[in-house]
A and B are shown apart, each in its own frame.
Chain A
């Protein structure tokens, strides 16, 4: 079993040296446990997260997540225990552009000085880095999905859940073709 997850945020990662309050906030997270070979998802974890800053307009344009949708969402502190429980015991982690998604969680943890407490899986796989050799560039999930699905385009882009489900499909294909 492995974990795959994706986050939606209020922006892109700033350099590590930037002050923590300038770093982007998580607004949505979806994680699932799946079987690498069959691609069958066995359990899910999905929630909105209430950020400390309002969601910028361009993020709403990309993801469709508005401030009103996050109004009653739990904060990161409130979901932290459940998130830990979900990650605990797993050894493999997948993410599309893992450096970013890992960085987002690390930043959230840094805000509370918890960065060494999180039960990170030992091995991180980044589906971007793994597939860089196909076209000598970092592939967007859409492009990777097209390659994996023989030209089929995908729908419902840029929401954490749909992205992870599509990514799991890609991982299944990558597994068949020896990328993982």
Chain B
């Protein structure tokens, strides 16, 4: 039997089982697996990824409640749940559209009208276990709840077996019940899990056969599955909307001339030609034009952040006015931004004043059409703290006891190899955890929930722009204005994401400028050697200064003092967990204020050249990359992987894979092995 429409974690808080889990249990070695969640298409891209790994064919579907037209505003009336399964790519678009419609009709719950259901084309299979009308129905479902099949209305429809699973395996029942959580009602808590007399797990063919004694219904699953063939489409690269085509090179030359940069010859020309060639090769031209256009619009009316993140390394960005930092003057690397080996889109983060952010979003919507622009969603998952908190409540454990356990949570950063084990480590290895587990053994179940989707929300900044209507790729939740797709899923189908961040500091600066009658543009040309400004930081009057407010920053600032612009740059780089924990920050400061002597791990010229400005300590990612490249003779590919690992704090295991490569490269380059290992250890703790 083929499971055509299983439910997954993306029927939030009602169904237990990650897509991976459900596929593992549900595919039955048949070569097919289908999922259909309630009002949600979040799972589709996850399903495609899982199926690709296992080389099985995915079937995409969605479950929606169908209400009679007149009853859609009556809370007391409930409609039957229909399953819509896409036969082909048109069908896939259609089910996305239906799901979008369901959210549009939201009134206490998402639903579609009977008319909408009747209009569904032949590209979609319509299946239900409890039809309100027999029209447009392809199959009648035999589900876990056997009672529906007992009624035998007059029809000649065929039956098909569908699993209405609540959790994948029978032994997941306990986790499922705890996962559903509680609601406060009166004085007590009321548990929301559903308790049924029928099987709630994914039933096997044998179980289905024993239950229904209907071989045809089982065979029909194969007939349906064989007719379904959907490959999720990939988005084409977005085209910049303009009446006359724009040549990016000419535009750059024009803007460069305005800025007084000579890109015809010299260092700037080499860098410019290198960048523009790569941008063209990668087909990112329109992306740059879109972002540039957006910022040109914003800069007319508001204060835009000078730059953030890796885009600062691009000269083209600087010339186009996307950033306000000259990468050559500040020694920033372009490869950190775009790299030949990476296929994903570059990420330009832009800061806008938080009170004007909506204007920018509106501009994008107006320019590219509301069908083609959408906010991105994010899926919130259970992490250590929420898992322990929620399970503690569901298990009726007193809050003060749960709080003791919460306080001893083993915190792991996202990329750590044991990140997914944070709950397990907390419970199994800490004193408080062991004591807790001895008293409440059921808390061990919390391990199973780590990383399971809990609910979805709107992403704070991400906006996607697309040539095609976004309904081609996933359902759009019009209530929130966000597509039912997570950041990574959107990247997977090549949807272009622009981060429009709202920054309070910018609003404050703009207000200040308005009060003293200063033009906001003057902020970009403020001199970088203003003694008064350094004095302000040196005197520790740093409350309210962006990025200088944190505890770590205060401490470092106090120790080191600020005398010039380089100090400010160094401080922002030092006040991160990596340098703070590795002792790099300490070493830097001691050398900076003259307590320790300047010393280099290796006397190799390449190493000295890279670290002489920072007193022999590696504190910037640029340094890490160039050292890997020039001392360790590593390829850009490896360097990229290491950089990504460093910025995502992947943990030691990940770095160790590259250790050998680095050390052999160094030795070949004339660096002693002992030194090479020390440099490597330094860089690893940097991450």
Contact = CB atoms under 8 A, between A and B. Distances in A.
A18 B395 contact: yes
A41 interface: no
B145 interface: yes
B55 to A, nearest CB: 37
Q: Sort chain A's interface into a size bin.
A: 20 to 34
B481 interface: no
Interface stretch (A96-104, A108-116, A147-155): A96-104
Given A18-B442, A129-B197, A136-B80, A11 B151 contact: no
A53 interface: no
Interface in A61-107: 98-100, 102-103
B259 interface: no
B402 to A, nearest CB: 14
Given A15-B395, A19-B440, A100 B195 contact: yes
Given A18-B442, A124-B197, A129 B150 contact: no
A133 B395 contact: no
A137 B78 contact: yes
A125 to B, nearest CB: 8
A122 interface: no
A67 B72 CA distance: 45
B27 to A, nearest CB: 28
Interface string B165-206: 000000001100110000000111011010111100000000
B585 interface: no
Contact of B174 (A15, A124, A179): A15
A93 B24 CA distance: 36
Contacts of A133: 129-130, 147-148, 151
Contacts, number: 79
A129 B195 contact: no
Given A14-B396, A133-B147, A133-B151, A126 B177 contact: no
Interface string B75-99: 0011111000000000000000000
A180 B396 contact: no
A135 interface: yes
B195 A103 contact: yes
Interface string A45-56: 000000000001
A91 B268 CA distance: 89
B205 to A, nearest CB: 22
B394 interface: yes
Interface string B110-126: 00000000000000000
A156 interface: no
A135 to B, nearest CB: 6
B151 A179 contact: yes
Contact of A17 (B145, B177, B197): B177
A16 interface: yes
B210 interface: no
B399 interface: no
A179 B396 contact: no
A102 B197 CA distance: 9
Contacts of A13: 191, 195
A130 B147 contact: yes
A130 B151 CA distance: 10
Contacts of B147: 129-133, 179
A15 B193 contact: yes
Contacts of A129: 145, 147, 196-198
Contacts of B396: 14, 18-19, 22
Main SS of chain B's interface residues?
A: loop
Interface string B135-162: 0000000000101101110000000000
A15 B145 contact: no
Residue of B77, B145, B147, B440 contacting most chain A CB atoms (<10 Å): B147
B177 A136 contact: no
A179 B150 contact: yes
A85 to B, nearest CB: 24
Contacts of A137: 78
Contacts of A16: 173-174, 177
A150 to B, nearest CB: 19
A98 B197 contact: yes
Nearest to B132: A136
A12 B198 CA distance: 19
Interface string A11-51: 11111111100100000000000000000000000000000
A134 B210 CA distance: 26
B386 to A, nearest CB: 17
A130 B198 contact: no
A11 B396 CA distance: 14
B445 A17 contact: yes
Contact of A178 (B130, B150, B190, B195): B150
Residue of A14, A56, A125, A180 contacting most chain B CB atoms (<10 Å): A14
B198 A17 contact: no
Contacts of B145: 129, 132
A99 B178 contact: no
B130 A136 contact: yes
Interface in B565-615: none
Contacts of A103: 195
Contacts of B445: 17
B14 to A, nearest CB: 14
Contacts of B188: 11, 56, 58
Interface string B374-399: 00000000000000000000111000
Given A17-B178, A179-B147, 4 more contacts: A16-B174, A17-B395, A19-B395, A136-B130
Q: Which 5 A-B pairs have the closest CB atoms?
A: A15-B177, A17-B442, A99-B195, A136-B78, A17-B174
Interface of B: 77-81, 129-130, 145, 147-148, 150-152, 173-174, 177-178, 186-188, 190-191, 193, 195-198, 394-396, 440, 442, 445
10 contacts: A13-B191, A14-B191, A15-B177, A15-B178, A16-B174, A18-B442, A125-B197, A129-B197, A132-B148, A133-B129
